[in-house]
Each structure stands twice: as C-alpha cells, then as structure tokens.
Amino acid sequence: MPQARRRRTMVFIGLDGHHNTGPGSAVGGVWLNEPANKAKLFAKTALSINCEHPSTIQTYVRPRYLAGDVVHWSNMYTAQQWYAGGPSRPELTTISVKAFKEFGVPLLTEPNPRPPAGDLGRLYRFTPGVATSEFFHYFHTDRETPDTVPWTGLQATTRAYAKIIDEVNKQPLRTFQRPEEPVPTR
C-alpha cells in the first residue's frame, strides 16, 4: 500500500538492553527519553509494544511429588504478566484483552499493578503501550531458545499483537494519546 494511503507508519526500534549497568549503559533507552527525541519520535505514536519474553515453557523447581533439586519442564507455556494501556487508556486494555483471549495467550487474571517491565517501563507515561512477558528460569539471549520458547506460545502472542495493531489502527489517534503521566511514587 502506498504511504499516502496508509493511516499510520510502523517503526521498529531495537534497544541495547536494560540489564546492563555502569557508565554508558542502556544509552538507547536514555536517548529515547531525552525531551527533544521524545517529542520527535512519539508525538504521533498510537501504540508501543514491548515484545520481550513473549512466551516461556512452564517449569517447576522441587515440585511436591518429585525428587531432586532440578528444574522440571512441562509441555505447556506459562501465563504471562501483562500491561495494556494502564488506567488512563481503558480502550487499549479492552482491545488487548480481547486479542489475547482470541489467540489463546494465557495471562495472569489482573494486569501488572506496577509500571510495565522492560523497555516499555521507560515509555508508558507518554505513549500507549502493551507488553506481556514471563521468563521463570530461562530468559534473554543466552537462555531463550527454541526449547524454552515454545512456538505455540510465540505464535499466540504474535497473532494477538498483530490483532491489537489492526484494532488500534481503526481508531483515531486521540483515542490513545494522553498528556505525559507523572513519575509514580513508591
């Protein structure tokens, strides 16, 4: 579809991580939050998705009736913690929960009460965002493998995210945009 006929443009951003520490760490996330960059990059943002840890195998350590201090694997992916717009964007929450149900993404029954995890935690106050994640015993680049990220869970989450994008794209931008929210206090 020619750009002139598109309602919105999709931009994919890969960041340098958020678990690294010390001088010069997580520079991508810091750069995104600088006022000039934030205004330029997110002024017309309808949706941000943090696709970190989209599925993980359900594991158990020391289950009640099994011996040994080993990680036991199941044949199913685990329910995920989630965030979808927060209290200020109930429309995004409704769209997201419906999509997750439609494609069989198992969720914890309530959204995460804290700010979203991962890189969306840097953006959610000024951009509408969605994230599901769980990692249990295996996560990040050295542990997220085809064995620990079941294709069925990855497929379910991917299809739900695609549906969320389609549904958000049907709405006017003002449906999801809000003034920047204050930094939460603990």
The whole-number mean pLDDT for each consecutive block of 10 residues of the chain, a chain of 186 residues, reads 83 77 78 87 91 86 74 87 93 98 96 84 90 79 83 95 96 92 80
Answer for the pair 26, 13: CB distance below 8 angstroms, yes or no: no
Q: Is 110 exposed, middle or buried (0-12, 13-18, 19+ CB in 10 A)?
A: exposed
- The conformation of residue 102, written as its DSSP 8-state character, comes to H
In-domain check, residue 56: yes
In the three-class reduction of DSSP (H, G, I as helix; E, B as strand; rest coil), residue 155 is classed as helix
In-domain check, residue 163: yes
Q: How many domains in the chain?
A: 1
In-domain check, residue 20: no
In the three-class reduction of DSSP (H, G, I as helix; E, B as strand; rest coil), residue 72 is classed as strand
Question: What is residue 166's predicted lDDT score, i.e. its pLDDT?
Answer: 95
In-domain check, residue 18: no
In-domain check, residue 3: no
Helix boundaries (H) for 43-178: 90-102, 151-169
Range of the domain at 93: 46-175
Handedness of CA 155, 143, 77, 136 (dihedral sign): negative
CA 74 from centroid of its chain's CA atoms: 24
Helix boundaries (H) for 140-183: 151-169
Question: What is residue 49's predicted lDDT score, i.e. its pLDDT?
Answer: 94
Question: What is residue 141's predicted lDDT score, i.e. its pLDDT?
Answer: 65
In-domain check, residue 4: no
pTM of the predicted protein model: 0.88
Q: Would you state the structure tokens that stand for residue 53, as one six-digit string?
A: 């840890």
In-domain check, residue 6: no
Question: What is residue 165's predicted lDDT score, i.e. its pLDDT?
Answer: 96
Question: What is residue 113's predicted lDDT score, i.e. its pLDDT?
Answer: 83
Q: What is the bridge-based pairing of β-strands 71-77 and 57-61?
A: antiparallel
In-domain check, residue 80: yes
